Amino acid sequence: MPDLFSPYTLKGVTLRNRIAMSPMTMYRSTDGLMSDFHVMLLGSRAAGGFGLVFPEQMAIVPEGRTSISCGGIYDDSQIEGLARVASIIKAMGAVPAIQLGHTGRKGSELKPWQGKTQLAPDHPDGWQVVGPSAIPYGGRYTYPVHALTRDEIKAIHRSYARAARRALEAGFEWLEMHYAHGYLGASFFSPLANKRTDEYGGSLENRVRFHLEALDAVREVWPERLPLTMRLGADDLHDEGVQFDDAVVAVAMMKQHGLDLADLSMGFNTDAMKAPPFAELAFMVERATRVRREVGIPVGVSWNLGVPELADRVIREELIDLVMLGRPALSNPHWPVWAARELGHSDPFSLVPEDWGWWLRNFRAHESCIGWPVVEESAKRETNAA
């Protein structure tokens, strides 16, 4: 029976455990480049014990970013910074992963702490956003959307392939396609955003065509020995949007086009969601388990899995294959080490680099003075909770 700290092998890649740091937009890039900040952020999480580490979503074209401060993989000049990130992740014992995406009609934004409003196409820091149809998202996304032509769709698929080549050159060993969170892939999948009448709209099979062709384009340049995964907006929580049954069928189709694992999330194609479950623990696990069972493909999910006992249980019960952590990874760079301690792992310090582990096991000091909770305190918390 696997547990949270069991190795996990997919294709020719083995993770040291089942804990992944999810992609999270940091708004720290200039011209799409990775910097010392990203080396610090991602290297520290790899050193902290995560088995798989993602930088933020990497835009495949400049107008595929969320803002001008977001990362990109649309130019060869960006390979050097990405290679630094991949190198430090590997040096600290984790597998470097990368997520390729395009924000579609949810791009051209200010940073969240500056208001997260959409900028006009003629603003110096804005651009014309695009989508499957000329339908603005709504809410704070008010500017007109350019409906992509067939030729423009084909160009985007070529951009995916070029981005995958750069990712391979930079040293990444796991590639994910971002088809969720209201971004371009999610928009093509959702009837709320996709009103096309050609081969990319209408039926479920047509609405998934964009995704399948993107997968095909990437698989041509991405080696078969390396995992190719995707994050899918599996439910819009809206009567007229994506239903989870649609996602089960779509994942099965993607599996036939080289998909190795499904990372399931929400559609976010509208703010008018019905009974959003965002405060519920592990709310995506049941959906993911169904995909795992019915499609026969490994699955990973995020959303409220930052409680160690819960994360371990969903792996032990073989409900999912990977635990994806976002905010928990931001708040605690050593979350896996902390979780190992909480779960009674025989050697939590085996998760950190060998030299760190040696010093932490062989200290000459008061036990409570190395920044590590003593057993009595942990036991007291358990007693109080009971």
State yes or no: is 183 an active-site residue: yes
What is the number of alpha carbons within 13 Å of residue 217 lying toward its C-beta? 20
Angstrom distance (rounded) from CA 359 to CA 259 = 42
Q: What is the DSSP string of 50-118?
A: -SEE--SPEESSGGGSSSTTS-B-SSGGGHHHHHHHHHHHHHTT-EEEEEEE--GGG-SB--GGGT-PB
Residues 6+ apart with CB under 8 A from 291: 234, 247, 248, 251, 262, 264, 297, 299
Residue with tokens 């995916």: 160
Start-to-end Cα distance in the chain: 27
Which CA distances in Å does 362 have to 347, 354, 358, 366? 13, 12, 6, 12
User: SS3 of 238, please?
Assistant: coil
Angstrom distance (rounded) from CA 242 to CA 229 = 20
Catalytic annotation, pick one of 8, 143, 183, 200:
183
Angstrom distance (rounded) from CA 289 to CA 312 = 15
Q: Tokens at residue 6, please?
A: 């069991």
- Residue 25 CB: number of other CB atoms within 10 A? 19
Angstrom distance (rounded) from CA 373 to CA 371 = 7
Task: Tell me which residues are annotated as active site.
Answer: 183
